[in-house]
Chain A
C-alpha cells in the first residue's frame, strides 16, 4: 500500500507540473489576446476630446480566468472521462422503452397543461411573458430545429441557409393574405408547399456539391433570399416589411372584444391572453406534427435511405438507391417544415421584415441541431430550450445590475455564452447532448449505436 502511494506521488506531481506549464501557456496566449482588445479604451471627456484609459485590471482578470479555467480543465477532465468510461449497468431494454414512452407522454401532457400552470402560478399579468417569450418562442425554434434535423441530422447535408425557407414561409403568408385576402389556415399549408418547392429549387443545383461547398452555397442561398426581400420593394416593401398580417382565428372566431369574438361566443371576459394561449397550442401542435412525421419517416424506406446516405453515398448507389431524389426529398421536407414555422411566425408577429431572417437565424438553428446531437429529436428539443430559453432568461437577470452597475445589460453577453456553451459541449459531448443513435428497427432488442460509429455525412 505504502509502495503504491509512494509510486503515485511523483506521477501526481509530474501531472500537476505539466498542467501548470500548459495553463501558463494558455495564460500567455490570453495575455496576447487581451492586451490589444482590453488593455486600452478610448473614451471621450467632457470637452469631447478622446482620452486613452488604461484597463490593466481587466487584462489581469482575463489572464487569471484563462489560467484557472485551463488548469481546472486539465486536472478535472481525466477524472471525468474515467468516470464516464466505466460501463453503466443498462436497464432491460423493454423496461427502458416503456419508461421512455411514459416519459414522453408525461412531457406532452405537461406541455399541454403549461399555459394553465403558468396562469395558476403567476396570474394573468405575468403569464404573457412566460407563455409567449418562453413557450411560443422556444417551440418555434424546436420546430425549426426538428425541420433542419431532417436535412442535417438524418441526411447529413449541411444547410446553412435554413432561414431562407423560414422567410419563404413567412412572406408567403404575408403576401397571400395581403394581396388575396387568404386567412391564416389557408396560408399555412400553402406556405409549407412554397417553401418545399424552394427547397427543391435549391436542391437541384447544389446536389453535386458536398461538404464545405454545399454549406457555402446554401449560406449564399439564404443571403440571396434575404437580399431579394430587401430590394424587391414593390412586392415586399423592402426594409419596412409587411404589417397587418391577419392573426389566426379559432375556427372562424377572431380573438377580439367584438360580439362575434372568441370570448363573447364562449361567454368569457375578453382578454388578450386568449390569443397567446391559442398561439401556444397552434405551435405546439405544429411542432408535435413535425416530430411525429420525422419519427414516422425514420422507420420508412425514405428515412433509412437518408441515414444510409449520411453513412455512405457510394454504397447507397450500389444498392439501387436514387441519391438525387433522396436528397431532394430531404431538402423539400425539411424546407416545408421551415415554411410552416415561418407562416406561424408571420401570423404571430403580425409584422415581418427581412431583419428577422438573417444568417444569425440560420446559425442559431444549426447550432441547436449540432448541440442537441445530430439526428436526435429529444436532443434538439433540449438544445432549443437551453439556447432560446437561456437567451430569454438573460433578460430576467436584472439583479446583475446591482452587481455590475446600472449600465450592465446581460443580454449583450448572449453570444459569449453561446460560444462558451459550444466549447463546453465540444469538450465533454463532442457528438451533441444525445450522441447515440437509436436504430429504426430491431430483431430482438433495441440497442443504441455508439456515437463514434455514426457518421456526420459529407454533404
Chain B
C-alpha cells in the first residue's frame, strides 16, 4: 500500500446479511488528497462498502478509521476503540470511528459526503434550495435552533447570505448558474448528476464518496464530470472515494484502485498495475482458466 497519510483506513470490514457475506474481511486505505477508486463486477459489494463507510449500514465487524488532521498513532486509535467512544481528539487531529456513528453524524461530524447510484435530489425543490438544505447544520446553529431565526435575528440573515454565496459558487463550478431557480427535477440527467455532487460539496466534506457518478452519462458529459472532479480535488484539497464501472474514468482520474470480487479484495494498487493484474481480468471476464478446461471437456463428451 502506497498511502503514506491515510484519511480513511478500512480494517477487516465484514458485512453479513443473514447467511450472505457481502463483504469478507476487507482492508484498504484511502489516502488524503487522492482519488481512490473501488471497482469490481456487479454484486461485488462496492456499494455495501459505501453504505458502511457513510453509516447507512452497521458493519458486522471491522473498523473504519477516519482522521481529519494527520496520521494518528496506532495506539491512540486503539485507546479510542477501547474507550467505546465514537470519536476523539488525538494530537494529530480528530479521529472518527465510522462504524459506530449513525448516518447523519457521519456526514455532520466526520465530514463524509456521498452521492447515490440512483440520483437522490430533492426534485420538488429548486436547485438553489437543494444546495441550501445541504448547509443545514451550520444554518441551524446560526438560527439558534430556529428561535433566533424566528424573531428575525441579523446573525441568521448573514449566515443565510453566506450560504447562498457558497451555493452560487458551486453552481458556477458545475455550470448551472442560470438554472438556480428551476426545480431540480426539471434538470437534464447529466446536470442532476453534477448537482448531486455540488450538493454533497456544500456540506464541506473531507471525504467525498461518489457512487457511479458517470452512470448514464454520454461521453461529453463524462469528460465534463472528470474535469469537474479533478478541479474540485485541486481547489479543495479533497479526498475522493469512487465507485465506477466506466474504466476510462477510473483509469484517467484515480491515483489508487481497489478491486473487489465476491466481497473480497483481489487487487490493490495503481491503475496501471491493476489493469494488468490477471485476477482482475479474470474477474471481469467472469471465467477462469480451470473452468474453460471443464467446459471444453463437457463439450467433448
Contacts and interface: CB of A to CB of B under 8 A. Distances in A.
Contacts of A442: 126, 128, 180-181
B21 interface: no
A284 B63 CA distance: 58
Contacts of A454: 124
Interface string B144-186: 0010011000001000100010001000000000001111011
A318 interface: yes
A1 interface: no
B137 interface: yes
Contacts of A447: 126, 181-182
A304 B126 CA distance: 11
Contacts of A453: 123-124, 183, 185-186
Interface in A440-458: 440-447, 449-450, 453-455
B116 interface: yes
A55 B231 CA distance: 80
A36 interface: no
Contacts of A315: 116, 120-122
A307 B126 CA distance: 11
Given A301-B136, A320-B107, A311 B122 contact: yes
A323 B104 contact: yes
Contact of A455 (B123, B129, B132): B123
A305 interface: yes
Nearest to A455: B124
Interface in B177-226: 180-183, 185-186, 199-200, 203
A4 interface: no
Contacts of A446: 181
A320 B156 CA distance: 19
A380 interface: no
Given A300-B146, A302-B146, A437 B124 contact: yes
Given A307-B125, A311-B123, A441 B164 contact: yes
Nearest to A313: B120
Contacts of A441: 126, 128-129, 132, 160, 164
A301 B122 contact: no
Interface string A293-320: 1001100111011011011101111111
A305 B116 contact: no
A449 B185 CA distance: 9
B143 A318 contact: no
Given A307-B125, A440-B129, A455-B123, A320 B180 contact: no
A317 B140 contact: no
A322 interface: yes
B128 A443 contact: yes
Contacts of A317: 56, 103-104, 107
A323 B136 CA distance: 12
Interface string A316-332: 11111111000001000
A441 B186 CA distance: 17
A319 to B, nearest CB: 5
Nearest to A450: B183
A375 to B, nearest CB: 9
Contacts of B105: 320
B139 interface: yes
A353 to B, nearest CB: 36
A315 B185 CA distance: 14
Contacts of B168: 443
B121 A300 contact: no
Contact of B164 (A321, A443, A445, A449): A443
A445 B181 contact: yes
Nearest to B151: A296
Contacts of A445: 181
A181 interface: no
A50 interface: no
A304 B132 contact: yes
The CB with the most chain B CB atoms within 10 A, among A315, A321, A446, is that of A315
Given A300-B146, A441-B132, A322 B104 contact: yes
Nearest to B177: A443
B134 A300 contact: no
Most chain A CB within 10 A, of B56, B107, B164, is at: B107
A439 interface: yes
Nearest to A93: B181
A437 B185 CA distance: 13
Nearest to A326: B136
Contacts of A314: 56, 116, 120
Interface in B94-113: 103-105, 107-109, 113
B139 A301 contact: yes
A321 B132 contact: no
Contacts of A440: 129
B149 A300 contact: yes
A296 B150 contact: yes
Contact of A304 (B133, B199, B203): B133
B114 interface: yes
Given A318-B114, A320-B107, A439 B136 contact: no
B67 interface: no
A323 B56 CA distance: 13
Nearest to B126: A439
A308 B122 contact: yes
Contacts of A307: 122, 124-125, 129
A322 B136 CA distance: 10
Given A301-B149, A442-B181, A445-B181, 16 more contacts: A300-B143, A301-B143, A302-B140, A307-B122, A311-B123, A323-B104, A439-B126, A440-B129, A441-B160, A443-B180, A447-B126, A447-B181, A449-B124, A449-B183, A450-B186, A455-B123
28 contacts: A293-B150, A297-B150, A300-B143, A300-B146, A300-B150, A301-B133, A305-B133, A311-B121, A311-B125, A312-B121, A312-B123, A316-B104, A317-B103, A317-B104, A317-B107, A320-B105, A320-B203, A439-B126, A439-B181, A440-B129, A441-B128, A442-B181, A443-B168, A446-B181, A447-B182, A449-B125, A453-B123, A455-B124
Q: What 3 pairs between A and B have smallest CB-CB spacing?
A: A320-B108, A454-B124, A320-B107
Interface of B: 54, 56, 103-105, 107-109, 113-114, 116, 120-126, 128-129, 132-134, 136-137, 139-140, 143, 146, 149-150, 156, 160, 164, 168, 180-183, 185-186, 199-200, 203
